[in-house]
Amino acid sequence: MTPKQARFAELIAAGSGRAEAYKAVYSSDGMQPSTVSEEASRLVRHPKVAARLELLKADAEAARRDALRGREEAILAQIEHEALTASSDSARIRALELLGKNAGLFVERIAVEAPERTVEEIEAELIARLTRLKIIEAEDAA
C-alpha cells in the first residue's frame, strides 16, 4: 500500500467522504467531479485499501466500545455511591432499583395462559367460523 492510499483510507475512516478524501490526497485539479467520484470509488475497492479500511473501522469500533464501557463503569460507580450515601430514602431506593435493572434482576415477565382445548374443540370452532364466513359472503353476493 502506498502512503497516499493509506492516507486516503485514514481520511475515510475518520469520516470524510470518498471524493473529499481523494481530493485531499491526490492531485485532482482539472478533474470533473464525476471523475473524482469514480476514482475514489475505484480506490475504495482496491484490495489493500479495502483491507486497511476494514482494519481502521474495527479499531474505531473497539475504541468506541472501550469508551462506552468506561462511561458505564463511571455511571454505575456513581449510582452505587448514591445508593449508599443519598440523603433521602427515595433516592437510595431509586439508585438500588437502577443497579438491579442493570444487573438484570427486574425483568418484566408476561405470562400467557392459553385455555386447554382438544383437537375436536378447535376443529369445531374453525368449522363454525368458516360457515359464518360463507354465509356472509353469500349475503354480500346477493
Any domain includes 48: yes
Residue 26 lies in a domain: yes
Distance, CA of 33 to CA of 17 (rounded, Å): 13
Number of domains in the chain: 1
* Structural domain of 84: 3-102
pLDDT 10s digits, 63-84: 999 999 999 999 999 999 999 9
Cα–Cα distance for residue pair 45/74, rounded to 1 Å: 41
In a domain, 55, yes or no: yes
Instruction: Give the Cα separation of 94 and 82 in Å (integer).
Output: 9
Q: Residue 14 domain-assigned?
A: yes
Nearest to 46 by CA among 29, 22, 28, 30: 22
Q: Dig out the grid coordinates for 2 from the structure.
A: 502506498
pTM, two decimal places? 0.53
Q: How does pLDDT run across 37-54, given as a tens digit for each residue? A: 999 999 999 999 999 999
Residue 95 CB neighbours (<10 A): 19
